[in-house]
Copies of this chain bind each other. A is one copy, B any other.
Amino acid sequence: YSIVLLPGDGIGPEVTAVARAAMESVAALSGFALKFSEHAFGGASIDRFGEPLTAETLRACQASDAIFLGAVGGPKWDKAASRPEAGLLGLRKALQVYSNLRPVSVHPALAGKSPLRAELVAGVDMLIVRELTGGIYFGARQKREDYASDECAYSRAEIERVAHIAFQQARLRRGKLMSVDKANVLETSRLWRRVVSEMGARTYPDIELGHMYVDAAAMHLLRDPASFDVVLTENMFGDILSDEASMLPGSIGLLGSASLGDTRPGVFEPIHGSAPDIAGQDEANPFGAIESVAQLFEAGLGETEAAARLRAAVGAMHEAGDWTGDLGGTLTCSEAGIRLIQHLE
């Protein structure tokens, strides 16, 4: 398999180094070969080439089997003509990775680290499916001196394709799907709710489908997080709700994500940001990157056994309390990577 690495900015390169080492170790153990190519991306690419995603990097991505991405952005480029984030949005759009899968579960050893009471997070096991290539992120926009606008638009086809993913994931899990919208206010949400309801009735009568307003969902994620199985929502709501949910396991540094389209390559990235405040200090939590690698093996390459192997090693680390500082442990980012490889072997 050919893998593109996009380390990006801030702590991106640190966690990417661990991810790469983990990929190499698991591939050797599972008996498949990986070919890596690394490219500047985001702010790092702006610094070198004047743009966050060069045509050459995009071509390399398109020719690969899977893409691992560290993190992008930082205050350094706040005033730049072109922003690091534009590279990320451009990559998502060009590859048409329309579904972003963000699993959130809480390892029992970590229940005490959650800001929520331990009894509320025990048993949390949800999958947030976020639409990733539409909505207000990609709509028409206007910018004048004293006025600005952003348009949120969705077509039925855009809703259907991501909803299919969510329904199918629900079938593989506990059979429950909660679609989140703001249908009491927005036209796009009313279309969203209509399309998802029709699909549920016609194609997925076996799935227990519910609908919730986004404001209510933001509450229920705290009140009873274990009640959620699959959550489906549009791009902007998914950004907010998945970051909220990411606090359930105690650190956003733990979670990974898979961005998938109809064909390879998918994009796999931890959901934490570039964390400029701790960049370069070998303090980052690499578990989110490692979980992203597990998703890369599983959803990206179909190597489920390799994914299971990696997750077992992560589980062993949690049980041993082999943690970075954000979880109250003493390991540096690179030490956590070395420990992981020991557990793997």
Contact = CB atoms under 8 A, between A and B. Distances in A.
Contacts of A215: 239-240, 242-243
B136 A147 contact: no
Interface string A79-102: 000010100010000000000000
Contact of A116 (B115, B137, B139, B239): B115
B191 A218 contact: no
A142 B223 CA distance: 35
A241 interface: yes
Given A185-B85, A246-B219, A139 B149 contact: yes
A190 interface: yes
B190 A219 contact: no
A56 interface: no
B149 A153 contact: yes
Nearest to A149: B153
B149 A156 contact: no
A14 to B, nearest CB: 20
Interface in A218-245: 218-219, 221-223, 236-237, 239-244
A338 interface: no
Given A152-B150, A155-B146, A273 B216 contact: yes
A344 interface: no
Contacts of A143: 187, 190-191
A120 interface: yes
A159 B152 CA distance: 20
A204 interface: no
A173 interface: no
B142 A147 contact: no
Nearest to A120: B115
Interface string A250-284: 00100000000000000000000100000000000
A190 B148 contact: yes
A184 B77 CA distance: 10
A244 B218 contact: yes
A214 interface: yes
Contact of A150 (B83, B85, B115, B188): B188
Interface of A: 73, 83, 85, 89, 115-117, 120, 136-137, 139, 141-143, 145-157, 182, 184-188, 190-191, 214-216, 218-219, 221-223, 236-237, 239-244, 246-247, 252, 273
